[in-house]
Protein backbone atom coordinates (compact mmCIF):
# COMPACT_ATOMS: atom_id res chain seq x y z
CA UNK A 1 0.00 0.00 0.00
CA UNK A 2 2.79 2.42 0.88
CA UNK A 3 4.42 1.79 -2.46
CA UNK A 4 1.13 2.68 -4.21
CA UNK A 5 1.01 6.10 -2.55
CA UNK A 6 4.62 6.75 -3.48
CA UNK A 7 3.97 5.77 -7.10
CA UNK A 8 0.78 7.87 -7.14
CA UNK A 9 2.73 10.83 -5.70
CA UNK A 10 5.46 10.44 -8.31
CA UNK A 11 2.88 10.30 -11.13
CA UNK A 12 1.17 13.40 -9.65
CA UNK A 13 4.49 15.23 -9.52
CA UNK A 14 5.17 14.18 -13.10
CA UNK A 15 1.85 15.65 -14.29
CA UNK A 16 2.39 18.81 -12.23
CA UNK A 17 5.86 19.29 -13.68
CA UNK A 18 4.54 18.75 -17.22
CA UNK A 19 1.81 21.33 -16.60
CA UNK A 20 4.34 23.76 -15.10
CA UNK A 21 6.71 23.32 -18.03
CA UNK A 22 3.92 23.91 -20.56
CA UNK A 23 2.59 26.94 -18.66
CA UNK A 24 6.08 28.40 -18.20
CA UNK A 25 6.63 28.59 -21.95
CA UNK A 26 3.26 30.35 -22.37
CA UNK A 27 4.07 32.75 -19.53
CA UNK A 28 7.50 33.49 -21.00
CA UNK A 29 5.94 34.19 -24.41
CA UNK A 30 3.44 36.59 -22.85
CA UNK A 31 6.26 38.34 -21.00
CA UNK A 32 8.21 38.69 -24.28
CA UNK A 33 5.15 40.15 -25.98
CA UNK A 34 4.65 42.67 -23.16
CA UNK A 35 8.30 43.71 -23.37
CA UNK A 36 8.01 44.09 -27.15
CA UNK A 37 4.87 46.20 -26.79
CA UNK A 38 6.52 48.40 -24.14
CA UNK A 39 9.56 48.84 -26.37
CA UNK A 40 7.33 49.79 -29.31
CA UNK A 41 5.42 52.30 -27.18
CA UNK A 42 8.69 53.80 -25.92
CA UNK A 43 9.97 54.01 -29.49
CA UNK A 44 6.77 55.76 -30.61
CA UNK A 45 6.96 58.20 -27.68
CA UNK A 46 10.55 59.06 -28.58
CA UNK A 47 9.56 59.57 -32.21
CA UNK A 48 6.69 61.88 -31.23
CA UNK A 49 8.95 63.78 -28.84
CA UNK A 50 11.55 64.22 -31.56
CA UNK A 51 8.88 65.40 -33.98
CA UNK A 52 7.67 67.95 -31.41
CA UNK A 53 11.21 69.23 -30.88
CA UNK A 54 11.76 69.50 -34.63
CA UNK A 55 8.43 71.32 -35.05
CA UNK A 56 9.37 73.78 -32.32
CA UNK A 57 12.73 74.42 -34.01
CA UNK A 58 10.98 75.01 -37.35
CA UNK A 59 8.55 77.45 -35.72
CA UNK A 60 11.41 79.35 -34.08
CA UNK A 61 13.23 79.62 -37.42
CA UNK A 62 10.04 80.80 -39.09
CA UNK A 63 9.53 83.44 -36.39
CA UNK A 64 13.10 84.63 -36.85
CA UNK A 65 12.63 84.80 -40.61
CA UNK A 66 9.37 86.72 -40.19
CA UNK A 67 11.03 89.18 -37.81
CA UNK A 68 13.90 89.69 -40.22
CA UNK A 69 11.46 90.15 -43.08
CA UNK A 70 9.61 92.83 -41.11
CA UNK A 71 12.92 94.57 -40.33
CA UNK A 72 13.84 94.55 -44.01
CA UNK A 73 10.41 95.96 -44.96
CA UNK A 74 10.79 98.76 -42.41
CA UNK A 75 14.27 99.56 -43.70
CA UNK A 76 12.99 99.64 -47.28
CA UNK A 77 10.16 101.95 -46.24
CA UNK A 78 12.68 104.20 -44.46
CA UNK A 79 14.86 104.23 -47.58
CA UNK A 80 11.85 105.07 -49.76
CA UNK A 81 10.98 107.92 -47.41
CA UNK A 82 14.57 109.12 -47.43
CA UNK A 83 14.65 108.87 -51.22
CA UNK A 84 11.48 110.99 -51.48
CA UNK A 85 12.94 113.56 -49.08
CA UNK A 86 16.11 113.78 -51.17
CA UNK A 87 14.05 114.21 -54.37
CA UNK A 88 11.95 116.95 -52.73
CA UNK A 89 15.13 118.76 -51.60
CA UNK A 90 16.57 118.45 -55.12
CA UNK A 91 13.39 119.95 -56.56
CA UNK A 92 13.51 122.82 -54.05
CA UNK A 93 17.17 123.50 -54.88
CA UNK A 94 16.56 123.40 -58.64
> How do residues 63-90 score in pLDDT, each as one tens digit?
999 999 999 999 999 999 888 888 877 7
The confidence score (pLDDT) of residue 78 equals 92
The confidence score (pLDDT) of residue 21 equals 87
Q: Over 80: is that where the pLDDT of 5 sits?
A: yes
What is the C-alpha separation between 35 and 32, in angstroms, rounded? Answer: 5
Q: Over 70: is that where the pLDDT of 91 sits?
A: yes
Provide the 8-state DSSP code for 94.
Answer: -
Bigger pLDDT: 84 vs 33: 33
Compute CA distances 63 → 12, 15, 70, 71, whole Å. 75, 72, 11, 12
30-55 burial: b if 16+ Cβ within 10 Å, else e: eeeeeeeeeeeeeeeeeeeeeeeeee
Entry pTM: 0.56
Amino acid sequence: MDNGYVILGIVGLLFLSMYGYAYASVAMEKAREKRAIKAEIKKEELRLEKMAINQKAREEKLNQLNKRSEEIKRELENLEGFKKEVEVKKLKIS
